Amino acid sequence: MSAADLSAARFHNEEAARKFLEEIRWPDGPVCPHCGSIGKVYENASKPGVYRCAEPECRKDFTVKVGTLFERSHVPVHKWLLATHLLMAGKNGVSAHELHRMLGVTYKTAWFMAHRIREALRPMSSRRPMGGNGRTIEADEAYIGGKEANKHKNKRQGVGGGAGGKEPVFALVERGGAVRSFHLPTVTARTLRAVLVAQVDRKSFLMTDEHGAYKMVGQEYAGHEAVRHSTGEYVRGEAHTNTLENYFSILKRGITGTYHHVSQQHLKRYLAEFDFRYNERMALGITDAERAAKALAGIEGKRLTYGGSQAG
Ligand SMILES: [Zn+2]
């Protein structure tokens, strides 16, 4: 990220920020969040950015923040845009402490802001299945977090919420495509299958390690190969889970290096953050600014319900 990026008016000037967000949310003109009417508004002459719906039976006031994750926040839009940009730039995320310093908001506000942005990154629950005919999906589990003293433990011994405090993460990646990761309560044939059949087209080819939990469900797919990690085998021709290992190494480095500790309750939001950055990565020709704009598109129609409304 260059310093020039951060000098853009929308990161410092509230009117520029509001207009930027309006262009992302309303490419065809303001949309009334109360009745859905498009482009039929009066702008309040003394309060720029406050619109009144022109539909006779509606006539309600709104701003660009209404109906979004930013609605109940007193934080100005330009700080939201800067926070989103910082979170989307680079590979490892940005800590609440860094946001607190860079945005000039309290630590608590920075923490809530980061979580609301992560919520914007969470995909809709009804996604199309991954893969399909001729496509290969790698599936694997990793254990995230936990205390340093327990990190030598073999991942097979790790149990969610156990002594090490590590949490099981199950991830799927389509070769040459996107990743989806999930925080599971436990890793069993049943929990892995539930995710696989909901997320992965059965015409796909499945690549896993030799974990017994994949044996049965593997038969439901067009093909299934397992590499024997326990005997030191990591690649056998096309059979490997290296794409996913690469993702897990970014995830672990980010969680350990930037966030230090991630509670079980919030892990799914951090996974959404790392999935989003991976899926909108620079290697695909997407710039930091484009990634941030895509992130902002996700603030629509979402609300955070846990006690965050009074902070920030
Ligand atoms: Zn209306």
* Residue 305, pLDDT score: 53
Strand partners, 206: 137, 224
* Residues with a beta carbon under 5 angstroms from ion ligand 1: 32, 34-35, 37, 53, 55, 58
* Residue 149, pLDDT score: 44
DSSP tag of 18: H
- State in Å: Cα 302 to ligand 1 middle: 19
Residues in the chain: 312
- State in Å: Cα 53 to ligand 1 middle: 5
| pTM for this predicted structure | 0.86
- State in Å: Cα 222 to ligand 1 middle: 50
* Residue 151, pLDDT score: 45
* Residue 150, pLDDT score: 45
From CA 81, how far away is CA 18, in angstroms rounded? 10
Residues of the chain with CATH 3.30.420.10: 136-279
- State in Å: Cα 31 to ligand 1 middle: 8
What angle in degrees, to the nearest 10, is found between the helix axes of 77-88 and 96-103? 140
Other beta carbons less than 10 A from residue 9's beta carbon: 13
Fold entry, domain 136-279: Nucleotidyltransferase; domain 5 (3.30.420)
- State in Å: Cα 78 to ligand 1 middle: 26
- State in Å: Cα 75 to ligand 1 middle: 25
* Residue 303, pLDDT score: 61
| Residue 178 burial class via C-beta count within 10 angstroms: exposed 0-12, middle 13-18, buried 19 and up | middle
3-state class (DSSP) for residue 169: strand
Q: Which amino acid is at 135?
A: R
For each of the chain's 312 residues, which pLDDT tens digit applies?
555 578 999 999 999 999 999 999 999 999 999 999 998 999 999 999 999 999 999 999 999 999 899 988 999 999 999 999 999 987 788 999 999 999 999 999 999 999 999 999 988 777 899 999 999 999 999 999 765 444 444 444 444 444 467 899 999 999 999 999 999 999 999 999 999 999 999 999 999 998 899 999 999 999 999 988 777 777 777 888 999 999 999 999 999 888 887 888 889 999 999 999 999 988 888 988 899 999 998 888 666 554 443 333
* Residue 236, pLDDT score: 79
- State in Å: Cα 60 to ligand 1 middle: 6
- State in Å: Cα 207 to ligand 1 middle: 51
- State in Å: Cα 29 to ligand 1 middle: 13
List the structure tokens of 83.
Answer: 């926070």
- State in Å: Cα 236 to ligand 1 middle: 60
Residue with tokens 């030598």: 152
- State in Å: Cα 301 to ligand 1 middle: 16
- State in Å: Cα 38 to ligand 1 middle: 8
- State in Å: Cα 308 to ligand 1 middle: 28
| Residue 265 burial class via C-beta count within 10 angstroms: exposed 0-12, middle 13-18, buried 19 and up | exposed
Task: Evaluate the CA torsion angle 40, 43, 44, 48 in order and state its sign.
Answer: positive
- State in Å: Cα 68 to ligand 1 middle: 16
- State in Å: Cα 181 to ligand 1 middle: 38
* Residue 159, pLDDT score: 42
- State in Å: Cα 56 to ligand 1 middle: 8
